[in-house]
A and B are shown apart, each in its own frame.
Chain A
Amino acid sequence: MSEIINNREYRQKILKELIKELHEGKGVDEVKERFAELIEGIAPTEITEMEQALIAEGMPVSEVQRLCDVHAEVFKGSIEEIHSPSGPEKTPGHPVHTFMSENREIEKLISVIEEHIQGKNRESLKGDIEKLATIDKHYARKENLIFPYMEKYDITAPPKVMWGVDDEIRDAVKTVKAMLETEASFAEIEKHTNETTHRIEEMIFKEESIMFPMILEVFTQDEWMAIEKSGDEIGYTLFAPSQKWAPVPDNLTTITKPELEKHPSGKVKFDAGFMMPEEINAVLNTLPLDITFVDESGHVQYFSQGEERIFPRPITIIGREVKNCHPPASVHVVEKVVENLKSGKNDSEDFWIKMGDKFVYIRYFAVRGKKGEYLGTLEVTQNISPIQELSGEKRLMDD
């Protein structure tokens, strides 16, 4: 018997049957016992895995959710062992919790706005439309923090559509705001306000019934943490998370962390975003300046190959010690610069020289890791004479 019970596939099959029975209307009490028997002695994570497998097989999430009631019954109070305190959306500080709390506040504000409309209270309406305009923060966090990860998982179409609608809503709010400054009739304002709030409510529905469930399934805990961390920079709408989200370290993600740095599609992960290696190379070559990177041990590791390099660098210098790549007359200067950057005495050192019609700005920066440790020196050179010549303004495109 135990061999059978221990068989993963067998358990999976039973689980499926239980879900089917629940779907067909059997009560929680009826299947509870068999469920308890099934899961006896297996780790809560395996139950979650089994559920994930069922979802991957194509079983609708809503069906699998039927099991939650059974968990609750079987485990009584300790359901959090399986599902974190009944889902991230109920965990204060989690980005989804924050987004949803903002939505509740937005809804409250919308009902207040509706009251102002009813009472034809132009002044109060003005103040609350101002408040509504802060919805920009909610959308900006979604667009700049959530969408990049969705794209990473090849979920590209929904964010594109959603961003377009976000922008329309921003414009609609602006229009109402502007109308309130003019002599526009109240009927006109009422019409625009109602249209706007209606679209906002639709967006809330879209976020909560499609987007959040979708991303909660794919984003890793590390990704949620990165999203949560950047939230403050952009700001919030009518709500501020009262506490930081402190998830229980997820063993799985810690172990696979090195792999997470690299996306399966070959993209390289940065602090903000992902790029393919050939994109990184092309981007660096497109920068309107030349860069050379010398590693911590003083060896040349990389230089960009823009169209016009100011100081030509033969490819053969890669891997060589930087002091061997300079004329003896200047080598001691270079050594001193690197030494000061390395020791932390300074973070940068600038020089500027004339070279024919070029005015060359040469800057050396200490490159430091997240903990401040010295990783190397970055040399940035740029011909700034065209920049120095700029004056006045240029607001139009060249033909």
Chain B
Amino acid sequence: MLHNHFRAALLVALVACVPGSVHAADEPFKVGYVYVSPIGDAGWTFQHDQGRKEMEKALGGKVVSKYVESVPEGADAERVIRELAQSGNKIIFTTSFGYMNPTLKVAKTFPKTDFEHATGYKTDANVGVYNARFYEGRYLAGQVAGKMTKSNVAGYVAAFPIPEVVMGINAFTRGMRSVNPKAEVKVVWTNSWYDPGREREAADTLMSQGADVLTHHTDSTATVQAAEAKKAYAIAYHSDMSKYGPNAQLTAVTHQWGAYYTKAVSDAMSGTWKPGNVWGGIKEGMIKMAPFNPVVPKDTQDLVNKTAADIGAGKFHPFTGPIKDNEGKERLAAGKVISDAELSKMDYYVEGVQGKLPK
């Protein structure tokens, strides 16, 4: 069905090219999105789709956007991206790491189309990359956890031991220990981005070992629900999940892509778009904290808001030395700020995380 849809779009595009039927001037600017999972109600893809809607709203009737969801990373992705380019989309956002090579490949054959690839690192004449500094939000989440825990143990349900996730664990731990030096973080790896049952089991396990604040780097809402069921606290990730845990969720680290999409699309419309390498955070509005649960005391809220403002203003970096790993080895000298290159290949746990990082 999807395929036919594209074929129809392709046909329309071809007809539009026939001399006499050209009316490009008043045609809306076309924007395409490729999503790796169903949009759903919370999570990675949901946030990108929220961003797409914000962009459409901000640019009024001048743009039409179209998305294709649940596109597997690999050969299918190339076909979908190519079809989006062929059907006249002028800028195409590919929102998963595994779309990197397909995006680059298609971009070569459509030099007049702009491409933006999320979380990748390879750029080209018409391919830009963008990502968010999720760790900034993690640090703030850690501060909330450190203030709210009674057992001084937080539990972290994590998917795969890759730098992106490890960075988040470390930022969370540093945030937590910045307000509560006795705090420890226990990590359980589910080896799956998405398996609500296992996430639930991992969360239950962490709580059975004394964790009273949970957070997660997996895609479902199961961790927040598990915390709600056991009357523990949770800090959600990707999206605000308060309706799944109205008492449990203290706040959430949310991704906001709307402003970025609006800017990229309007640049593309005016012809000023350039392939960039954007890694935005609180400052750029890409990372926002969800509203605090009323149980979080006022002074804690103020502290977190102040830290957020400092990070946004560039006055504070969550990874400022001294940084010791959890085996006692110094990784960054006092007063130094970690470089983006070091961050993006982080392969150790900082002090305060229990256990050993699986290799």
Q: Are A and B subunits of one complex?
A: no
Q: What residues of chain B have their CB less than 8 Å away from a CB belonging to chain A?
A: none
